[in-house]
Structure 1
Amino acid sequence: MGVFQDSWNRWRPMVSERTEIALTAFGLGFVAAVSFTCIALHLFAGASAWVYAFGAYLFTVVAVFHMSEFVVAAEYRPHDASPRSFMIFHSPAFLIANGVAWFEFVVCGCWLRLSYHPEPTTASVTFFTLVALGSYAVRVLAMVQCGSNFALMVETSKRPQHRLVTHGVYAYLRHPSYFGWFWYAITTQLIALNPVCFVLFVAASWYFFNDRIRDEEAILASERFFGAEYVAYRKRTSVGIPWIG
Protein backbone atom coordinates (compact mmCIF):
# COMPACT_ATOMS: atom_id res chain seq x y z
CA MET A 1 0.00 0.00 0.00
CA GLY A 2 2.81 2.42 0.87
CA VAL A 3 4.60 2.00 -2.48
CA PHE A 4 1.34 2.41 -4.39
CA GLN A 5 0.40 5.53 -2.43
CA ASP A 6 3.86 7.03 -2.91
CA SER A 7 3.58 6.50 -6.67
CA TRP A 8 0.18 8.19 -6.70
CA ASN A 9 1.54 11.09 -4.65
CA ARG A 10 4.27 11.69 -7.25
CA TRP A 11 1.86 11.81 -10.16
CA ARG A 12 -1.23 13.49 -8.71
CA PRO A 13 -1.79 17.23 -9.28
CA MET A 14 0.13 19.51 -6.97
CA VAL A 15 -2.79 20.67 -4.81
CA SER A 16 -3.27 21.09 -1.09
CA GLU A 17 -4.95 18.41 1.00
CA ARG A 18 -7.99 20.63 1.51
CA THR A 19 -8.39 21.14 -2.22
CA GLU A 20 -7.98 17.43 -2.87
CA ILE A 21 -10.62 16.64 -0.23
CA ALA A 22 -13.02 19.17 -1.75
CA LEU A 23 -12.51 17.86 -5.28
CA THR A 24 -12.92 14.25 -4.18
CA ALA A 25 -16.11 15.07 -2.27
CA PHE A 26 -17.44 16.93 -5.33
CA GLY A 27 -16.69 13.91 -7.51
CA LEU A 28 -18.45 11.56 -5.12
CA GLY A 29 -21.42 13.91 -5.01
CA PHE A 30 -21.59 13.77 -8.81
CA VAL A 31 -21.44 9.97 -8.67
CA ALA A 32 -24.31 9.96 -6.17
CA ALA A 33 -26.35 12.22 -8.48
CA VAL A 34 -25.78 9.85 -11.41
CA SER A 35 -26.78 6.86 -9.31
CA PHE A 36 -29.97 8.57 -8.09
CA THR A 37 -30.81 9.47 -11.69
CA CYS A 38 -30.46 5.84 -12.80
CA ILE A 39 -32.60 4.63 -9.91
CA ALA A 40 -35.28 7.25 -10.66
CA LEU A 41 -35.29 6.36 -14.37
CA HIS A 42 -36.15 2.78 -13.48
CA LEU A 43 -38.68 3.50 -10.75
CA PHE A 44 -40.51 6.36 -12.45
CA ALA A 45 -39.69 6.27 -16.18
CA GLY A 46 -39.71 2.56 -16.99
CA ALA A 47 -35.98 2.08 -17.62
CA SER A 48 -34.76 -1.52 -17.47
CA ALA A 49 -33.64 -3.30 -14.32
CA TRP A 50 -30.07 -3.09 -15.66
CA VAL A 51 -30.22 0.69 -15.25
CA TYR A 52 -31.58 0.25 -11.73
CA ALA A 53 -28.82 -2.23 -10.88
CA PHE A 54 -26.18 0.13 -12.28
CA GLY A 55 -27.48 3.03 -10.18
CA ALA A 56 -27.76 0.97 -7.01
CA TYR A 57 -24.31 -0.59 -7.50
CA LEU A 58 -22.72 2.79 -8.22
CA PHE A 59 -24.35 4.33 -5.15
CA THR A 60 -23.43 1.47 -2.81
CA VAL A 61 -19.90 0.70 -4.01
CA VAL A 62 -18.66 4.21 -4.77
CA ALA A 63 -20.70 7.03 -3.24
CA VAL A 64 -21.68 5.52 0.11
CA PHE A 65 -18.49 3.61 0.83
CA HIS A 66 -15.89 6.25 0.03
CA MET A 67 -17.80 9.21 1.46
CA SER A 68 -18.65 7.38 4.69
CA GLU A 69 -15.06 6.26 5.22
CA PHE A 70 -13.87 9.86 5.08
CA VAL A 71 -16.68 11.38 7.15
CA VAL A 72 -16.19 8.91 10.00
CA ALA A 73 -12.42 9.45 9.97
CA ALA A 74 -12.80 13.23 9.96
CA GLU A 75 -15.34 13.22 12.78
CA TYR A 76 -13.98 10.54 15.10
CA ARG A 77 -10.31 10.12 14.08
CA PRO A 78 -9.17 13.58 13.00
CA HIS A 79 -5.55 12.48 13.39
CA ASP A 80 -6.21 10.01 10.54
CA ALA A 81 -8.26 12.35 8.33
CA SER A 82 -6.63 13.05 4.98
CA PRO A 83 -7.44 12.49 1.29
CA ARG A 84 -6.38 8.87 1.82
CA SER A 85 -9.28 8.46 4.25
CA PHE A 86 -11.64 8.27 1.27
CA MET A 87 -10.06 4.83 0.65
CA ILE A 88 -10.28 5.32 -3.11
CA PHE A 89 -6.68 4.21 -3.60
CA HIS A 90 -6.70 1.71 -0.76
CA SER A 91 -4.36 -0.78 -2.42
CA PRO A 92 -3.61 -2.29 -5.85
CA ALA A 93 -5.62 -5.40 -4.92
CA PHE A 94 -8.61 -3.23 -3.98
CA LEU A 95 -8.51 -1.37 -7.31
CA ILE A 96 -8.07 -4.57 -9.32
CA ALA A 97 -10.95 -6.31 -7.54
CA ASN A 98 -13.30 -3.39 -8.15
CA GLY A 99 -12.14 -3.04 -11.74
CA VAL A 100 -12.82 -6.71 -12.46
CA ALA A 101 -16.24 -6.46 -10.80
CA TRP A 102 -17.19 -3.43 -12.87
CA PHE A 103 -15.99 -5.21 -16.02
CA GLU A 104 -18.09 -8.29 -15.33
CA PHE A 105 -21.14 -6.19 -14.52
CA VAL A 106 -20.96 -3.56 -17.28
CA VAL A 107 -19.35 -5.53 -20.12
CA CYS A 108 -20.43 -9.13 -19.50
CA GLY A 109 -23.82 -8.23 -18.04
CA CYS A 110 -25.18 -4.85 -19.16
CA TRP A 111 -23.55 -4.75 -22.60
CA LEU A 112 -22.96 -8.27 -23.93
CA ARG A 113 -25.70 -9.94 -21.86
CA LEU A 114 -23.69 -13.16 -21.72
CA SER A 115 -25.82 -16.19 -20.92
CA TYR A 116 -23.94 -17.03 -17.71
CA HIS A 117 -24.76 -13.63 -16.21
CA PRO A 118 -28.22 -13.50 -14.56
CA GLU A 119 -30.53 -10.60 -15.36
CA PRO A 120 -31.37 -8.38 -12.38
CA THR A 121 -34.90 -7.67 -11.23
CA THR A 122 -36.30 -4.81 -9.20
CA ALA A 123 -36.78 -7.13 -6.24
CA SER A 124 -33.26 -8.62 -6.37
CA VAL A 125 -31.55 -5.24 -6.69
CA THR A 126 -33.60 -3.70 -3.89
CA PHE A 127 -33.09 -6.62 -1.51
CA PHE A 128 -29.35 -7.00 -1.98
CA THR A 129 -28.78 -3.24 -1.88
CA LEU A 130 -30.52 -3.04 1.49
CA VAL A 131 -28.51 -6.01 2.80
CA ALA A 132 -25.24 -4.46 1.58
CA LEU A 133 -26.05 -1.08 3.11
CA GLY A 134 -27.14 -2.73 6.36
CA SER A 135 -23.88 -4.68 6.51
CA TYR A 136 -21.85 -1.58 5.83
CA ALA A 137 -23.81 0.29 8.51
CA VAL A 138 -22.39 -2.21 11.04
CA ARG A 139 -18.88 -1.19 9.96
CA VAL A 140 -19.72 2.50 10.29
CA LEU A 141 -21.28 1.94 13.72
CA ALA A 142 -18.18 0.02 14.79
CA MET A 143 -15.86 2.83 13.71
CA VAL A 144 -18.02 5.40 15.51
CA GLN A 145 -18.24 3.42 18.76
CA CYS A 146 -14.54 2.62 18.69
CA GLY A 147 -13.66 6.28 18.14
CA SER A 148 -9.97 7.12 18.41
CA ASN A 149 -9.21 3.48 19.28
CA PHE A 150 -10.00 2.49 15.69
CA ALA A 151 -7.19 2.26 13.14
CA LEU A 152 -7.19 1.25 9.49
CA MET A 153 -3.80 -0.40 9.87
CA VAL A 154 -2.96 -2.99 12.52
CA GLU A 155 -1.11 -1.19 15.30
CA THR A 156 1.82 -3.02 16.88
CA SER A 157 2.43 -0.60 19.75
CA LYS A 158 -0.14 0.53 22.30
CA ARG A 159 -0.94 4.23 22.47
CA PRO A 160 -1.43 5.80 25.95
CA GLN A 161 -5.11 6.46 25.23
CA HIS A 162 -5.71 3.02 23.71
CA ARG A 163 -8.63 1.18 25.38
CA LEU A 164 -10.35 -2.16 24.72
CA VAL A 165 -13.86 -1.29 23.52
CA THR A 166 -16.45 -3.84 24.70
CA HIS A 167 -19.71 -1.88 24.62
CA GLY A 168 -22.33 -1.44 21.90
CA VAL A 169 -21.87 -3.68 18.89
CA TYR A 170 -18.50 -4.76 20.35
CA ALA A 171 -20.37 -6.58 23.11
CA TYR A 172 -21.40 -9.16 20.50
CA LEU A 173 -18.82 -8.92 17.71
CA ARG A 174 -15.16 -8.40 18.49
CA HIS A 175 -14.36 -7.30 14.93
CA PRO A 176 -17.61 -5.62 13.80
CA SER A 177 -15.88 -3.46 11.20
CA TYR A 178 -14.49 -6.60 9.54
CA PHE A 179 -17.86 -8.34 9.87
CA GLY A 180 -19.58 -5.42 8.16
CA TRP A 181 -17.03 -5.10 5.40
CA PHE A 182 -17.00 -8.85 4.66
CA TRP A 183 -20.76 -9.14 4.22
CA TYR A 184 -20.95 -5.77 2.46
CA ALA A 185 -18.25 -6.71 -0.06
CA ILE A 186 -19.76 -10.03 -1.10
CA THR A 187 -23.33 -8.69 -1.16
CA THR A 188 -22.38 -5.90 -3.58
CA GLN A 189 -21.66 -8.64 -6.11
CA LEU A 190 -25.21 -9.90 -5.65
CA ILE A 191 -26.55 -6.42 -6.47
CA ALA A 192 -24.74 -6.72 -9.79
CA LEU A 193 -25.40 -10.48 -9.97
CA ASN A 194 -21.75 -11.11 -10.85
CA PRO A 195 -21.36 -14.91 -10.54
CA VAL A 196 -17.59 -15.02 -11.06
CA CYS A 197 -16.78 -12.00 -8.89
CA PHE A 198 -19.11 -13.21 -6.16
CA VAL A 199 -17.02 -16.37 -5.79
CA LEU A 200 -13.76 -14.42 -6.04
CA PHE A 201 -14.90 -11.81 -3.51
CA VAL A 202 -15.97 -14.50 -1.03
CA ALA A 203 -12.62 -16.29 -1.33
CA ALA A 204 -10.45 -13.15 -1.29
CA SER A 205 -12.37 -11.51 1.57
CA TRP A 206 -12.33 -14.65 3.68
CA TYR A 207 -8.59 -15.26 3.28
CA PHE A 208 -7.80 -11.59 3.90
CA PHE A 209 -9.82 -11.36 7.10
CA ASN A 210 -8.72 -14.78 8.30
CA ASP A 211 -5.07 -13.71 8.16
CA ARG A 212 -5.76 -10.20 9.42
CA ILE A 213 -7.83 -11.30 12.41
CA ARG A 214 -5.35 -14.00 13.39
CA ASP A 215 -2.45 -11.52 13.35
CA GLU A 216 -4.42 -8.76 15.06
CA GLU A 217 -5.70 -10.99 17.85
CA ALA A 218 -2.20 -12.28 18.55
CA ILE A 219 -1.14 -8.68 19.12
CA LEU A 220 -4.20 -7.72 21.18
CA ALA A 221 -3.83 -10.78 23.42
CA SER A 222 -0.16 -10.08 24.03
CA GLU A 223 1.08 -8.41 27.20
CA ARG A 224 1.99 -5.34 25.13
CA PHE A 225 -1.72 -4.67 24.72
CA PHE A 226 -4.57 -6.20 26.73
CA GLY A 227 -3.35 -9.70 27.61
CA ALA A 228 -5.80 -11.72 29.73
CA GLU A 229 -8.47 -9.04 29.37
CA TYR A 230 -8.60 -9.63 25.62
CA VAL A 231 -8.47 -13.42 25.97
CA ALA A 232 -11.56 -13.29 28.21
CA TYR A 233 -13.28 -10.88 25.81
CA ARG A 234 -12.52 -13.17 22.86
CA LYS A 235 -14.19 -16.13 24.60
CA ARG A 236 -17.53 -14.34 24.99
CA THR A 237 -17.78 -12.76 21.53
CA SER A 238 -17.98 -13.86 17.91
CA VAL A 239 -16.38 -12.75 14.66
CA GLY A 240 -19.49 -13.34 12.57
CA ILE A 241 -17.57 -14.56 9.52
CA PRO A 242 -17.91 -18.31 8.79
CA TRP A 243 -15.02 -20.49 9.99
CA ILE A 244 -13.06 -17.59 11.49
CA GLY A 245 -12.62 -17.38 15.25
Structure 2
Amino acid sequence: MMLCYDGKLSLYCFVTASVIAGLPEILFRLEFDNYMSYLQNMWVIHILLYGFLNLLLALAFRGFAYRVAVRATFLGYVFAVGILIFFCSSASWQMFGIYISVLAFFHYSEFLAIAWTNPDTVSIESFILNHSLAYGIAACSSWLEFIVERYFFPTIKEASSISYFGLVLCLGGEVLRKMAIFTAKRNFSHIVQNKKAENHELVTHGVYGFCRHPSYVGWFYWSIGTQLILQNPFCFVAYAITSWRFFHERVLIEELTLLNFFRGQYVDYQKKVGTGLPFIVGYKVEL
Protein backbone atom coordinates (compact mmCIF):
# COMPACT_ATOMS: atom_id res chain seq x y z
CA MET A 1 0.00 0.00 0.00
CA MET A 2 1.35 3.37 -1.05
CA LEU A 3 1.67 6.20 1.43
CA CYS A 4 -1.01 8.82 0.85
CA TYR A 5 -0.29 12.50 0.17
CA ASP A 6 -0.87 13.58 3.76
CA GLY A 7 1.45 10.84 4.99
CA LYS A 8 4.19 11.87 2.55
CA LEU A 9 3.78 15.52 3.52
CA SER A 10 4.06 14.68 7.21
CA LEU A 11 7.15 12.54 6.61
CA TYR A 12 8.91 15.29 4.63
CA CYS A 13 8.09 17.85 7.33
CA PHE A 14 9.17 15.56 10.19
CA VAL A 15 12.50 14.67 8.58
CA THR A 16 13.21 18.22 7.36
CA ALA A 17 12.49 19.71 10.78
CA SER A 18 14.73 17.11 12.43
CA VAL A 19 17.63 17.93 10.11
CA ILE A 20 17.22 21.69 10.47
CA ALA A 21 17.06 21.41 14.27
CA GLY A 22 20.48 19.75 14.22
CA LEU A 23 22.14 22.38 12.00
CA PRO A 24 23.12 24.86 14.77
CA GLU A 25 24.99 22.17 16.69
CA ILE A 26 26.67 20.87 13.52
CA LEU A 27 27.80 24.37 12.53
CA PHE A 28 29.05 25.01 16.04
CA ARG A 29 31.05 21.76 15.98
CA LEU A 30 32.54 22.80 12.63
CA GLU A 31 33.40 26.18 14.16
CA PHE A 32 31.34 28.14 11.68
CA ASP A 33 30.45 30.38 14.58
CA ASN A 34 30.55 33.90 13.21
CA TYR A 35 26.88 34.30 14.17
CA MET A 36 27.40 32.61 17.55
CA SER A 37 29.13 35.65 18.97
CA TYR A 38 26.07 37.67 18.08
CA LEU A 39 23.33 35.41 19.39
CA GLN A 40 25.37 33.66 22.12
CA ASN A 41 22.46 31.39 22.91
CA MET A 42 21.57 28.16 21.15
CA TRP A 43 17.97 28.39 22.31
CA VAL A 44 17.58 31.73 20.56
CA ILE A 45 18.78 30.10 17.34
CA HIS A 46 16.28 27.27 17.72
CA ILE A 47 13.43 29.70 18.35
CA LEU A 48 14.36 31.65 15.23
CA LEU A 49 14.74 28.51 13.11
CA TYR A 50 11.46 27.04 14.30
CA GLY A 51 9.69 30.36 13.76
CA PHE A 52 11.11 30.56 10.23
CA LEU A 53 9.93 27.02 9.48
CA ASN A 54 6.42 27.89 10.62
CA LEU A 55 6.43 31.00 8.44
CA LEU A 56 7.31 28.87 5.42
CA LEU A 57 4.55 26.41 6.26
CA ALA A 58 1.99 29.22 6.55
CA LEU A 59 3.01 30.48 3.11
CA ALA A 60 3.12 27.06 1.45
CA PHE A 61 0.05 25.23 2.76
CA ARG A 62 -3.60 25.79 3.57
CA GLY A 63 -6.35 23.89 5.31
CA PHE A 64 -5.80 20.29 6.36
CA ALA A 65 -2.37 20.10 4.70
CA TYR A 66 -1.15 23.02 6.84
CA ARG A 67 -2.49 21.44 10.02
CA VAL A 68 -0.67 18.20 9.20
CA ALA A 69 2.54 19.98 8.23
CA VAL A 70 2.73 22.20 11.31
CA ARG A 71 2.25 19.25 13.68
CA ALA A 72 4.71 16.99 11.89
CA THR A 73 7.25 19.83 11.84
CA PHE A 74 6.78 20.45 15.55
CA LEU A 75 7.24 16.77 16.40
CA GLY A 76 10.27 16.45 14.11
CA TYR A 77 11.91 19.47 15.70
CA VAL A 78 11.21 18.21 19.22
CA PHE A 79 12.54 14.77 18.29
CA ALA A 80 15.86 16.25 17.15
CA VAL A 81 16.13 18.64 20.11
CA GLY A 82 15.69 15.68 22.45
CA ILE A 83 18.65 13.94 20.81
CA LEU A 84 20.71 17.12 21.08
CA ILE A 85 19.88 17.37 24.79
CA PHE A 86 21.07 13.80 25.31
CA PHE A 87 24.42 14.41 23.62
CA CYS A 88 25.10 18.00 24.66
CA SER A 89 23.55 18.61 28.09
CA SER A 90 24.65 17.77 31.61
CA ALA A 91 24.27 14.18 32.85
CA SER A 92 21.12 14.94 34.85
CA TRP A 93 19.29 16.22 31.75
CA GLN A 94 20.36 13.56 29.26
CA MET A 95 17.53 11.08 29.84
CA PHE A 96 14.98 13.88 29.67
CA GLY A 97 16.23 14.42 26.13
CA ILE A 98 15.69 10.74 25.33
CA TYR A 99 12.21 10.96 26.83
CA ILE A 100 11.36 13.96 24.63
CA SER A 101 12.50 12.11 21.51
CA VAL A 102 10.56 8.97 22.45
CA LEU A 103 7.42 11.04 23.11
CA ALA A 104 7.67 13.01 19.86
CA PHE A 105 8.34 9.92 17.74
CA PHE A 106 5.42 8.03 19.28
CA HIS A 107 2.91 10.74 18.41
CA TYR A 108 4.27 11.26 14.93
CA SER A 109 4.45 7.53 14.14
CA GLU A 110 0.79 7.17 15.15
CA PHE A 111 -0.22 9.55 12.36
CA LEU A 112 2.18 8.00 9.84
CA ALA A 113 0.97 4.46 10.58
CA ILE A 114 -2.68 5.41 10.05
CA ALA A 115 -1.85 7.41 6.92
CA TRP A 116 -0.06 4.35 5.56
CA THR A 117 -2.52 1.61 6.50
CA ASN A 118 -5.91 3.30 6.63
CA PRO A 119 -5.69 6.66 4.80
CA ASP A 120 -9.47 7.01 4.55
CA THR A 121 -9.67 7.54 8.32
CA VAL A 122 -6.62 9.76 8.78
CA SER A 123 -7.27 13.02 10.62
CA ILE A 124 -5.54 15.52 12.86
CA GLU A 125 -6.65 13.35 15.79
CA SER A 126 -4.41 10.60 14.37
CA PHE A 127 -1.48 12.39 16.01
CA ILE A 128 -3.35 11.78 19.33
CA LEU A 129 -1.74 14.97 20.68
CA ASN A 130 -5.09 15.97 22.19
CA HIS A 131 -5.89 12.46 23.42
CA SER A 132 -7.64 13.63 26.59
CA LEU A 133 -7.37 16.11 29.45
CA ALA A 134 -6.17 13.29 31.73
CA TYR A 135 -3.41 12.44 29.26
CA GLY A 136 -2.19 16.04 29.26
CA ILE A 137 -2.30 16.26 33.04
CA ALA A 138 -0.33 13.01 33.31
CA ALA A 139 2.36 14.29 30.94
CA CYS A 140 2.70 17.61 32.77
CA SER A 141 2.85 15.80 36.12
CA SER A 142 5.76 13.68 34.92
CA TRP A 143 7.65 16.77 33.76
CA LEU A 144 7.03 18.49 37.08
CA GLU A 145 8.21 15.48 39.08
CA PHE A 146 11.37 15.20 36.98
CA ILE A 147 12.22 18.90 37.37
CA VAL A 148 11.56 19.00 41.13
CA GLU A 149 13.50 15.82 41.86
CA ARG A 150 16.35 16.89 39.60
CA TYR A 151 16.54 20.25 41.39
CA PHE A 152 16.97 18.67 44.82
CA PHE A 153 18.69 15.40 43.84
CA PRO A 154 20.29 15.84 40.39
CA THR A 155 22.35 12.65 40.57
CA ILE A 156 19.27 10.40 40.74
CA LYS A 157 18.28 11.62 37.27
CA GLU A 158 21.53 10.56 35.64
CA ALA A 159 21.39 7.67 33.17
CA SER A 160 21.23 4.25 34.82
CA SER A 161 20.17 0.68 34.10
CA ILE A 162 16.62 1.67 35.12
CA SER A 163 16.37 4.47 32.58
CA TYR A 164 17.83 2.33 29.80
CA PHE A 165 15.45 -0.50 30.69
CA GLY A 166 12.65 2.05 30.36
CA LEU A 167 13.96 2.96 26.91
CA VAL A 168 13.94 -0.71 25.87
CA LEU A 169 10.38 -1.01 27.21
CA CYS A 170 9.33 2.03 25.18
CA LEU A 171 10.96 0.73 22.00
CA GLY A 172 9.39 -2.69 22.47
CA GLY A 173 5.97 -1.19 23.14
CA GLU A 174 6.32 1.10 20.13
CA VAL A 175 7.23 -1.78 17.81
CA LEU A 176 4.41 -3.99 19.10
CA ARG A 177 1.81 -1.24 18.69
CA LYS A 178 2.89 -0.41 15.16
CA MET A 179 2.98 -4.12 14.23
CA ALA A 180 -0.61 -4.31 15.45
CA ILE A 181 -1.63 -1.33 13.30
CA PHE A 182 0.11 -2.66 10.19
CA THR A 183 -1.35 -6.14 10.75
CA ALA A 184 -4.91 -4.92 11.25
CA LYS A 185 -4.61 -2.27 8.50
CA ARG A 186 -8.09 -0.97 7.64
CA ASN A 187 -9.55 -2.82 10.61
CA PHE A 188 -7.64 -0.59 13.04
CA SER A 189 -9.00 2.68 14.38
CA HIS A 190 -8.09 5.02 17.22
CA ILE A 191 -11.80 5.24 18.04
CA VAL A 192 -13.85 2.22 19.12
CA GLN A 193 -16.43 1.69 16.36
CA ASN A 194 -20.09 1.14 17.27
CA LYS A 195 -21.14 0.17 13.76
CA LYS A 196 -19.61 -2.65 11.73
CA ALA A 197 -18.28 -1.61 8.33
CA GLU A 198 -18.82 -3.89 5.33
CA ASN A 199 -15.08 -4.61 5.04
CA HIS A 200 -14.50 -5.02 8.80
CA GLU A 201 -12.83 -8.36 9.50
CA LEU A 202 -11.73 -10.07 12.71
CA VAL A 203 -7.92 -10.11 12.69
CA THR A 204 -6.43 -13.12 14.47
CA HIS A 205 -3.11 -13.61 12.69
CA GLY A 206 0.34 -12.09 13.25
CA VAL A 207 0.72 -10.37 16.61
CA TYR A 208 -3.01 -10.87 17.17
CA GLY A 209 -2.25 -14.57 17.44
CA PHE A 210 -0.30 -13.88 20.65
CA CYS A 211 -2.63 -11.36 22.32
CA ARG A 212 -6.05 -9.96 21.48
CA HIS A 213 -5.07 -6.32 22.02
CA PRO A 214 -1.42 -5.88 20.95
CA SER A 215 -1.88 -2.16 20.30
CA TYR A 216 -3.04 -1.63 23.89
CA VAL A 217 -0.31 -3.88 25.27
CA GLY A 218 2.30 -1.87 23.38
CA TRP A 219 0.87 1.45 24.55
CA PHE A 220 0.62 0.24 28.17
CA TYR A 221 4.28 -0.77 28.40
CA TRP A 222 5.38 2.29 26.40
CA SER A 223 3.57 4.48 28.91
CA ILE A 224 5.20 3.08 32.03
CA GLY A 225 8.53 2.87 30.17
CA THR A 226 8.55 6.66 29.77
CA GLN A 227 8.52 7.05 33.55
CA LEU A 228 11.37 4.59 33.94
CA ILE A 229 13.38 6.67 31.46
CA LEU A 230 12.76 9.74 33.63
CA GLN A 231 13.24 7.67 36.81
CA ASN A 232 10.06 9.16 38.25
CA PRO A 233 9.02 6.82 41.09
CA PHE A 234 5.71 8.54 41.89
CA CYS A 235 4.58 8.93 38.29
CA PHE A 236 5.69 5.38 37.51
CA VAL A 237 3.21 4.04 40.06
CA ALA A 238 0.53 6.54 39.00
CA TYR A 239 1.01 5.75 35.28
CA ALA A 240 0.87 2.00 35.92
CA ILE A 241 -2.39 2.25 37.90
CA THR A 242 -4.04 4.84 35.65
CA SER A 243 -3.03 3.07 32.42
CA TRP A 244 -4.27 -0.27 33.75
CA ARG A 245 -7.64 1.23 34.67
CA PHE A 246 -7.94 2.96 31.30
CA PHE A 247 -7.18 -0.17 29.29
CA HIS A 248 -9.34 -2.36 31.55
CA GLU A 249 -12.33 -0.15 30.71
CA ARG A 250 -11.32 0.24 27.07
CA VAL A 251 -10.98 -3.53 26.56
CA LEU A 252 -14.41 -4.16 28.09
CA ILE A 253 -16.04 -1.62 25.77
CA GLU A 254 -14.18 -2.83 22.68
CA GLU A 255 -14.80 -6.51 23.34
CA LEU A 256 -18.50 -5.92 23.91
CA THR A 257 -18.54 -4.27 20.48
CA LEU A 258 -16.52 -7.07 18.87
CA LEU A 259 -18.82 -9.71 20.35
CA ASN A 260 -21.74 -7.85 18.84
CA PHE A 261 -19.93 -7.74 15.46
CA PHE A 262 -18.54 -11.28 15.29
CA ARG A 263 -20.45 -13.22 17.98
CA GLY A 264 -19.32 -16.87 18.15
CA GLN A 265 -16.24 -16.21 16.06
CA TYR A 266 -14.94 -13.78 18.66
CA VAL A 267 -15.90 -16.07 21.55
CA ASP A 268 -13.74 -18.81 20.01
CA TYR A 269 -10.91 -16.30 19.60
CA GLN A 270 -11.20 -15.30 23.26
CA LYS A 271 -10.84 -18.91 24.35
CA LYS A 272 -7.59 -19.32 22.43
CA VAL A 273 -5.85 -15.97 22.99
CA GLY A 274 -5.55 -13.73 26.07
CA THR A 275 -5.73 -9.94 26.12
CA GLY A 276 -1.98 -9.60 26.72
CA LEU A 277 -2.57 -7.05 29.49
CA PRO A 278 -1.78 -8.06 33.09
CA PHE A 279 -4.86 -9.17 35.09
CA ILE A 280 -7.27 -8.06 32.35
CA VAL A 281 -9.44 -10.84 30.94
CA GLY A 282 -11.83 -8.77 28.85
CA TYR A 283 -15.59 -9.14 28.38
CA LYS A 284 -16.56 -12.80 28.53
CA VAL A 285 -19.89 -14.27 27.53
CA GLU A 286 -21.07 -17.83 27.02
CA LEU A 287 -23.12 -18.49 23.93
Residues 1:142 and 2:184 aligned together:
no
* Partners of 1:101 and 1:194 within 8 A in 2: yes
1:217-244: CA deviation from partner (whole Å, max 9, x where unpaired): 122112xx10100000011111121110
Residues 1:27 and 2:68 aligned together:
no
Q: Distance in 2 between matches of 1:91 and 1:235?
A: 33
Q: TM-score, normalised by structure 2?
A: 0.73
**Match for residue 166 of structure 1 among 201, 204, 208:** 204
1:120, distance to aligned residue in structure 2 (A): 3.3
- Greater RCO, 1 or 2 (C-alpha within 8 Å, sep 6+): 1
Q: Distance in 2 between matches of 1:218 and 1:152?
A: 17
**Match for residue 276 of structure 2 among 220, 240, 243:** 240
Alignment of 1:29-44 (within 5 A): 29-41=76-88
Residues 1:86 and 2:124 aligned together:
no
* Partners of 2:95 and 2:157 within 8 A in 1: no
Residues 1:16 and 2:52 aligned together:
no
**Match for residue 244 of structure 2 among 206, 215, 232:** 206
The match for 2:118 is 77
Alignment of 1:104-143 (within 5 A): 104-105=145-146, 107-113=147-153, 118-143=156-181
**Match for residue 102 of structure 2 among 38, 43, 60:** 60
* Partners of 1:52 and 1:122 within 8 A in 2: no
* Partners of 2:79 and 2:102 within 8 A in 1: no
**Match for residue 215 of structure 2 among 139, 164, 177:** 177
Judging by fraction of residues, say which structure has more helix. Answer: 2
The match for 1:8 is none
Ranges in structure 1 where 5+ consecutive residues have no aligned partner: 1-12
The match for 2:234 is 196
Q: Distance in 2 between matches of 1:27 and 1:111?
A: 28
Amino acid at match of 1:92: L
* Partners of 1:53 and 1:191 within 8 A in 2: yes
1:140-163: CA deviation from partner (whole Å, max 9, x where unpaired): 110111001001111111100000
Q: For 1:79, what is the secondary structure of its paired residue? A: helix
* Partners of 1:56 and 1:125 within 8 A in 2: no
**Match for residue 99 of structure 1 among 124, 129, 140:** 140
Ranges in structure 2 where 5+ consecutive residues have no aligned partner: 1-57, 282-287
Q: Distance in 2 between matches of 1:141 and 1:33?
A: 24
Q: Quick one: percent identity of the two aligned structures?
A: 37
Q: Distance in 2 between matches of 1:124 and 1:243?
A: 24
1:31-80: CA deviation from partner (whole Å, max 9, x where unpaired): 111111122226xxxx31x222111110112x211110110011111122
1:16, distance to aligned residue in structure 2 (A): 1.1
Q: Distance in 1 between matches of 2:280 and 2:168?
A: 25
The match for 2:37 is none
Q: TM-score, normalised by structure 1?
A: 0.85
* Partners of 2:220 and 2:244 within 8 A in 1: yes
Question: Which has more radius of gyration?
Answer: 2
Q: Distance in 2 between matches of 1:217 and 1:121?
A: 40
Q: For 1:173, what is the secondary structure of its paired residue? A: coil
How many residues are paired up? 222
Tell me the C-alpha RMSD between the 2 structures. 1.9
Q: Distance in 2 between matches of 1:110 and 1:31?
A: 21
Q: Distance in 1 between matches of 2:65 and 2:153?
A: 42
Report runs of 4+ in structure 1 exceeding 6 Å deviation.
none
